[in-house]
Structure 1
Amino acid sequence: MLFIFPANPIAPRRVDEHFEPEAMAARSAGHTVAVVDHDALCRGTAEEAVRWMNRPDDGAQTNTALYRGWMLTVRQYTHFAAAAAQRGVTLLTSPSSFEHAHWLPRWYGALSEFTPRSIWTEGANLNAFEACCVRLGSGPAVLRDYVKSLKHSWEEASYIPDVANLPAARAVARRFLELRGEDFAGGLVVRAFEQFTTTEARTWWVQGRCVLVTAHPDTPGDLPTGADLQSVAPTVAALGLPFVTVDLVLRADGVWRIVELGDGQVSDRPKSTSPETFIEAIAGAFGA
């Protein structure tokens, strides 16, 4: 299997230090490792980004690759996939599948039974945001964009005590937009607040099958037990996505809920899960 990792900004032919343990585990397991220049992808120069990527006839063992790296926008990933294809490498996750897993509005309809009620805008218009609050009704909510929340700025840019208080909700949204800046993605998403009683479990799915359950990277030493995979498995499988993460958490009434679906390529591995365990589970599920 071919794994593509971000290049080290200082030594561009080497893997970025954050992903080096996974790269070493992949090599030890007999897989091929290549690098991509993440900074170049962010600049919009995808052809430059893949300049260190060997063509299959230059020694790579396969022309189908799995990316493991930093977050990318849908546009950046699309350009990355096209540039890789020009070098004879096909990413296992297509740009359309990446968007489906990456943007909440793309997956919400299929998973709405298992995740908090959500209403969103297209773009950053605050009047449209207030209309979403009105539709949600009243009570607490959590704010995010299509890709990410700011839970580390909980009070000022994430938690809305009551969506019926439109001036207060607008202030949270305005601060959210300030903090997200150029990273703001898609639109504003208002999600009904639900009381959870555990940390999150990150579950890893390959071709619709859960192959690994880990702690969440934010709480690597705290893995909740008993996550209900059976109830969500048919729905996750029906999405038809090659590699995703599903973050599960226990609600106060004892029901396991989905708080996030993400593309597995850009989902971080908790330090409590060894890179060897991770690579074996993922590569093995892909039949490599």
Structure 2
Amino acid sequence: MMLLVPADVLRPRRVDEHFAPEANAARAAGLEVALVDHDALASADGTDGADRAVARVPEAGAAAVYRGWMLRAERYAALERALARRGVTLRTSAERYRRAHELPGWYEALKSVTPRSVWTSGTGRAAFDAARAALGPGPAVLRDHVKSMKHYWDQAAFIPDLADAEGAWAVATRFLSLRADDLVGGFVLRRFETFASAEVRTWWWDGTCRLVGPHPDTPDDAPPADLDLAPVEPLVAGLSLPFVTVDLARRTDGTWRVIELGDGQVSDRPTTIAPESLIALLTTATPHRA
């Protein structure tokens, strides 16, 4: 298997510094490592741009896993096509990447273990108000199909009461201004729940949890020993996604809840998880805990 990582912007023959530890661990484990020009891919229009982005990937009949910066689903699809022309097959197809990367792709399968959510296609006021009415009054968290603006919690993420139409739209308007061209899909409104723990990031390979560690936002908070994945395991397995992360937190009533599912190729590794641990889950069959 081949590991694909972003090239350094200023030194394109080298690995991007953020992913260099994983690239080194992959080489030590016997994996081939190849460079992708992320900026060219993210801004490319048409076939030629995607082909330029993968020009340094060897032409070989190989399966590949990408570990890099987040890509919009359509850019990932362009990456898949460009690699196929070089005889390289991404282990996660473009369709499966979108299903993991965007909340509407995974929500139905996990709705029993995650906050109730509704979403829109597009960002018009009428669609937002319809989603607001569908979720009903009370507090909610706003995001798009991929990402929230949680670091702007009071301005662009938390809505105290969806019954307050103008107050809710003010939060949505601020969210739109911050996400700008990076916005994906439309609005997502999620019922607010109160949590009593830091988030835990779990890493899943072929439907099995293979690595448990802290969330990148709280890298020094070790996962509690009583983390209960039993309600989640069959649901994640049922999605048939090759490589995903699932972030969980303990609600104040003691129940573990899914905060997010994401494609593992573009999920950040907390600094307190050794790169060797992440590479090991791609190459071995032994579940372990960071």
Fold agreement, TM-score > 0.5: yes
Q: 1:146: which partner in 2?
A: 145
Q: 2:220: which partner in 1?
A: 221
Distance 2:220 2:125 in 1: 39
SS in 2 for 1:18: helix
Q: 2:258: which partner in 1?
A: 258
Q: 1:46: which partner in 2?
A: 50
Unaligned stretches of 5+ residues in structure 2: none
Counterpart of 1:197, as a letter, is: A
Counterpart of 2:57, as a letter, is: M
Contact 1:200–1:223, Cα closer than 8 Å, also in 2: no
Q: 2:191: which partner in 1?
A: 192
Q: 1:276: which partner in 2?
A: 276
Q: TM-score, normalised by structure 2?
A: 0.95
Q: 1:168: which partner in 2?
A: 167
- Deviation, 1:52, is 0.7
SS in 2 for 1:19: helix
Q: 1:244: which partner in 2?
A: 244
- Deviation, 1:137, is 1.4
Q: 1:20: which partner in 2?
A: 20
- Deviation, 1:224, is 2.9
Q: Deviations over 1:116-160 (max 9, x none)?
A: 000111111122111111121111100000000110010100000
Q: Deviations over 1:17-38 (max 9, x none)?
A: 0000000011111111001000
Counterpart of 1:66, as a letter, is: V
Distance 1:271 1:234 in 2: 29
Distance 1:279 1:101 in 2: 20
Distance 1:227 1:182 in 2: 37
In the TM superposition, 1:51-66 aligns within 5 A as 51-56=55-60, 63-66=62-65
- Deviation, 1:223, is 2.4
Contact 1:101–1:107, Cα closer than 8 Å, also in 2: yes
Contact 2:161–2:168, Cα closer than 8 Å, also in 1: yes
Q: 1:209: which partner in 2?
A: 208
- Deviation, 1:55, is 1.2
Contact 2:212–2:223, Cα closer than 8 Å, also in 1: no
Contact 1:143–1:160, Cα closer than 8 Å, also in 2: yes
- Deviation, 1:282, is 2.5
SS in 1 for 2:179: helix
Distance 1:9 1:241 in 2: 31
Q: Deviations over 1:136-193 (max 9, x none)?
A: 1111100000000110010100000001001000000010011001000001000000
- Deviation, 1:110, is 0.7
SS in 1 for 2:245: strand
Contact 1:227–1:249, Cα closer than 8 Å, also in 2: no
The answer on 1:124 being equivalent to 2:128 is no
SS in 2 for 1:64: strand
Counterpart of 1:208, as a letter, is: G
> Structure 1 residues 265, 197: closer, same or farther in 2, change over 3 A?
same
Identity %: 54
Q: TM-score, normalised by structure 1?
A: 0.96
Q: 1:267: which partner in 2?
A: 267
Q: 2:155: which partner in 1?
A: 156
- Deviation, 1:281, is 2.1
Contact 2:205–2:281, Cα closer than 8 Å, also in 1: no
Distance 1:9 1:245 in 2: 27
Distance 1:132 1:284 in 2: 44
Distance 1:278 1:52 in 2: 24
SS in 2 for 1:219: coil
Counterpart of 2:3, as a letter, is: F
Counterpart of 1:271, as a letter, is: T
SS in 1 for 2:284: helix
Unaligned stretches of 5+ residues in structure 1: 57-61
- Deviation, 1:231, is 1.2
Distance 1:268 1:223 in 2: 16
Q: How many residue pairs end up in the alignment?
A: 281
The Cα RMSD (Å) is 1.0
- Deviation, 1:43, is 1.3
Give structure 1 regions of 4+ aligned residues with deviation exceeding 6 angstroms: none
